[in-house]
Structure formats: C-alpha cells, structure tokens
Amino acid sequence: SQQGEEDPQALSIQEGENATMNCSYKTSINNLQWYRQNSGRGLVHLILIRSNEREKHSGRLRVTLDTSKKSSSLLITASRAADTASYFCATDKGAQKLVFGQGTRLTINP
C-alpha cells in the first residue's frame, strides 16, 4: 500500500522559479525522506527529516515536516533544467521499511 501521496502529480515551471511539492501520509513515522529519479535511472536520496524535526536545508532544497498535519513539503529554489525529474517522498515507520508515494513529475522549461 502507498503511504505517501504527492501533490501535484505534475508540475511545469520556468527555469529560475521555485518549485514546491507536497507529501501527505496517514500514520505515524520515524522519518520522511525525499528522493529524485531521472528518467530511466534509479532513485537518488535527497534529504531525510526525522519526526522531531520541523525543517531541514540542503543546498537549494528546503524540506518541512508537520507531524500534526501528517504532511511534508519539498521546496527547490532557483530551479535549473537539470532539476527536471520525478520526486518521491518515502515514509519510514520503523525497521527502515520505506513506503514510497506516487511521485511528482517536475519539468523545468528553459
């Protein structure tokens, strides 16, 4: 079963704009992770946020977590063409068992 649900399913923006993707989940988690997947490739880990954290930064990425609303958001600032990919959230309820959402397809237009 899919725990995380990403929104929107697809997002198309101009290069240089910011992109925001959201993830909602249903049950308590230990941590939430975001991954990127370029077409035809494996997934690449971007950032992990633990249940007792509210915000985390990594370069142009900013992730927030609201456990009361069971939701997270991923913000990519100053987008580049190379950011074009699918982005997935994954929830870890324990034992490092990750459940992935359906993903957001992000397209950056030059």
Partner 1 sequence: EAGVAQSPRYKIIEKRQSVAFWCNPISGHATLYWYQQILGQGPKLLIQFQNNGVVDDSQLPKDRFSAERLKGVDSTLKIQPAKLEDSAVYLCASSHSTTGELFFGEGSRLTVL
Q: What residues make contact with partner 1 under the rule CB under 8 A?
A: 2, 4, 31, 33, 35, 41-45, 48, 88, 90, 92, 95-103
Q: Specify the residue, 18 or 54, whose C-beta has the smaller distance to partner 1.
A: 54
Residue corresponding to tokens 């101009």: 14
End-to-end Cα distance, the chain: 37
Q: Specify the residue, 1 or 14, whose C-beta has the smaller distance to partner 1.
A: 1
In whole angstroms, the minimum distance from the beta carbon of 16 to partner 1 comes to 28
Q: Specify the residue, 42 or 59, whose C-beta has the smaller distance to partner 1.
A: 42
Distances in Å between the alpha carbon of 17 and those of 14, 35, 83, 101, 103? 6, 20, 11, 24, 20
In whole angstroms, the minimum distance from the beta carbon of 97 to partner 1 comes to 6
In whole angstroms, the minimum distance from the beta carbon of 6 to partner 1 comes to 8
Residues 50/33, Cβ–Cβ less than 8 Å? no
Q: Specify the residue, 70 or 105, whose C-beta has the smaller distance to partner 1.
A: 105
In whole angstroms, the minimum distance from the beta carbon of 78 to partner 1 comes to 25
- Among residues 84, 35, 25, the alpha carbon closest in space to that of 63 is found at 35
CA distance linking residue 21 with residue 25, whole number of Å = 14
